[in-house]
Structure 1
């Protein structure tokens, strides 16, 4: 188990009386603790904190990643304006223990109970000082923020009423359940959002915000931070004459490697009648070292990188050029014509840029059939779920050959994900409603 608890400042960790120490040593600048529970939530949290840092450069910003190690925050921490705090641990499910009972058992066996207990104690110590908390995610960070006793804000990222109000597909039991409530959020979550200490509640779209307001929650929909910093860049000349496919295998190992094999197997079923480029951006994982044996086994050979494209290596199989690019998602995403994906947040971002996506659910623990179908409904069918590698190859050929269909699905995706600027609007709300008011 990895634990890298860092001092929260003053008496929050030391065991002294936090209120007394706060009166003596508390700096004039307010403090904020952000809770996030997943890779996508980490990314959204970082976007908001970047915008908030521009507004309040002297503010003490702390983040507690509840799932994984919060690698998304590493660069900001290195730059010195943000600090990760508290115990952190990579769990077998990658944070998706709610996907199945077996995943929950594996996480519990790996120490989930002890990890959650230590995180809860840290949040309680922070709350005793009266400093605010911003929770990003679903019930877990919301519950911790409420239990802290401090003022808090909540950004509910994973749930949207689009998942039960629109197609494609249906989930009869779940749809009826949400229809009876009038919201995908549950009554116990409404209560936590409507608490007098909840000074800000924001969700991902206006449809969901309206559903919550009918239940007494003052919910806002200021925009989607996931679409910020995703500018379309000019297409490099070497790629201009190739069909462009973005491949997203996810970031959780070993699932991402199994998914990469399946996506490449689907590509292999597509006849390479014309030059293609497959853009495979990754995060810190899977690494080039992880992916190279998979590419070699499929018959790819390494070649020189084309100029002006970025990436770490290039691989060729007949007329299909594949580029690996750690950290290249923001640069490459807008170049795609079609995406092949077994990912969460990155898939939503790709669709938000107007690139239709085909997904291929597998055994999980994250990207299972239920997850993929829900993602497709959330995004209005701009992500199409495929039943097999053969099905994916057929759908890919159809999309590449039909520009009008690609444009139609791309327009749906852009509408569902919303415009840019959500980070700045959310930072302004946090500044005004959570930080500017008297604490305690």
Structure 2
């Protein structure tokens, strides 16, 4: 049985998904050596696991200007080209080729590029297809336009060249994010499976703290890519200033390493917020800082998303992975697209279709504020939308199910999983 596995991931969300699967796999196979190549950025999501000895980061990597979203705009593509993305990809290609000569397997997490590199390695490979779902063209809200016609003619959001790579004799596993997408691939000879969605693992779904029961609670998600994140947060906070509700309003703002505390300070001071000592009833929630503006309190909590997310009644979001996780907990969200490079209108509308309208795209700050007031005043409507999010994202446990399939189909050397 193979003693080594190389994992390729091409984005922040893909890094997080790959990490969950690796953690579950190490529980089943503590002896296996796992190497990860983060194709976009430095792979910061893996740092903690690397320090624990669960994996090691390998190969060439670099932070790109678009944050991996060069397909969202010509400007992002040109910036990445100027930063040397072609040379970086070539070096990553060569690294995977060298790995493949050993005969050890490769797991690709993401879309076409990591799948192509896994195939190019020359050895056995598996694939976890994260970004594409047939829900984005098979259901609303809104219309996918010409893209929907194209995908409907194919019967799958995945393209023929991707089918070919997933049907290859060396491809032992092709796992999709939902059963609808896996079923579409099976019509094209790909033995697609959908054992579970790792994005819902690791989230605390405990009860609401007593200290918060008298507050109306919103979760603020601006994304993690700078400087886009601060622009997203500024627009969302300006919209929030127009929201009126019954009772005091608590805004939970979980973050990653960015925006940093000083970046929050510049943003919030410009919007009229002032730092305060937290009220005694809120002091134990894990916030790094508390700011006030009129009747609103804003709690900033680095690393607090998994703990805080289930406490919210509603999300205000301009983010990718975290928004999907939030609605997967049954909490509806409102999004406000910006200039990008990630969270542009096309991205937001595709996300809304993927999640069945449990996240709604708002065309202006005023529209977001008005819709927020509706959802805060109509809990039955909020629960109805939240139920759609739960259905689209699926239950927790996906990481363990994927690790089991990975062990049986790729690491166990069984043939015929996808070809």
Interval containing the TM-score (normalised by the shorter chain): over 0.9
CA offsets per residue over residues 147-195 of structure 1, 9 Å max, x none? 1101000000000000000000002211110010000000000000000
Instruction: Kindly indicate whether the alpha-carbon contact (under 8 Å) linking 1:238 and 1:307 is maintained by their aligned counterparts in 2.
Output: no
CA distance in 2, matches of 1:198, 1:301: 56
CA distance in 2, matches of 1:347, 1:438: 36
Number of the residue aligned with 2:288: 312
Q: Tell me if 1:413 matches 2:386.
A: no
Number of the residue aligned with 1:4: none
CA distance in 2, matches of 1:437, 1:171: 40
Equivalent position to 1:365, from 310, 317, 341: 341
Number of the residue aligned with 2:312: 336
Q: Tell me if 1:75 matches 2:84.
A: no
Number of the residue aligned with 2:157: 184
CA distance in 2, matches of 1:191, 1:113: 24
CA RMSD of aligned residues (A): 1.2
Q: Tell me if 1:298 matches 2:274.
A: no
Q: Shift in Å at residue 308 of structure 1?
A: 2.1
Instruction: Kindly indicate whether the alpha-carbon contact (under 8 Å) linking 1:272 and 1:320 is maintained by their aligned counterparts in 2.
Output: no
Q: What are the equivalent positions in structure 2 for 1:18-29 lying under 5 Å apart?
A: none
Number of the residue aligned with 1:347: 323
Number of the residue aligned with 1:151: 124
> Which shifted more, 229-238 or 287-296?
229-238
CA distance in 1, matches of 2:144, 2:328: 24
Equivalent position to 2:208, from 222, 235, 242: 235
CA offsets per residue over residues 85-131 of structure 1, 9 Å max, x none? 01111111000001122211110001101111111110000001110
Instruction: Kindly indicate whether the alpha-carbon contact (under 8 Å) linking 2:172 and 2:414 is maintained by their aligned counterparts in 1.
Output: no
Query: Structure 1 regions of 5+ residues with no counterpart?
Result: 1-27
CA offsets per residue over residues 288-344 of structure 1, 9 Å max, x none? 221111111111111123222112011111221110000000000000000000000
Secondary structure in structure 1 of the residue aligned to 2:108: strand
Secondary structure in structure 2 of the residue aligned to 1:169: coil
Number of the residue aligned with 2:77: 104
Q: Shift in Å at residue 273 of structure 1?
A: 4.7
TM-score of the two chains, using structure 1 as the length reference: 0.92
CA distance in 2, matches of 1:233, 1:301: 31
Number of the residue aligned with 2:65: 92
Instruction: Kindly indicate whether the alpha-carbon contact (under 8 Å) linking 1:30 and 1:59 is maintained by their aligned counterparts in 2.
Output: yes
Number of the residue aligned with 2:193: 220
Number of the residue aligned with 2:252: 279
Number of the residue aligned with 1:252: 225
Number of the residue aligned with 1:132: 105
CA distance in 2, matches of 1:65, 1:211: 29
CA offsets per residue over residues 364-414 of structure 1, 9 Å max, x none? 000000000000000000000000111100010111000010000000000
TM-score of the two chains, using structure 2 as the length reference: 0.97
Equivalent position to 1:389, from 344, 360, 365: 365
CA distance in 1, matches of 2:277, 2:245: 20
Equivalent position to 1:162, from 135, 139, 162: 135
Q: Tell me if 1:32 matches 2:32.
A: no
> Which shifted more, 429-438 or 167-176?
429-438
Q: Shift in Å at residue 271 of structure 1?
A: 2.7
CA distance in 1, matches of 2:385, 2:50: 38
Query: Structure 2 regions of 5+ residues with no counterpart?
Result: none
Q: Shift in Å at residue 438 of structure 1?
A: 7.5
Per chain length, whose mean CA-contact separation is higher, i.e. which structure has more relative contact order (CA < 8 Å, sep 6+)? Answer: 2
**Change beyond 3 A, Cα 1:272–1:294:** farther
Secondary structure in structure 2 of the residue aligned to 1:293: helix
Secondary structure in structure 2 of the residue aligned to 1:220: coil
Equivalent position to 1:204, from 154, 158, 177: 177
Q: Shift in Å at residue 70 of structure 1?
A: 0.6
Number of the residue aligned with 1:14: none
Number of the residue aligned with 2:400: 424
Instruction: Kindly indicate whether the alpha-carbon contact (under 8 Å) linking 1:94 and 1:252 is maintained by their aligned counterparts in 2.
Output: yes
> Which shifted more, 397-406 or 307-316?
307-316
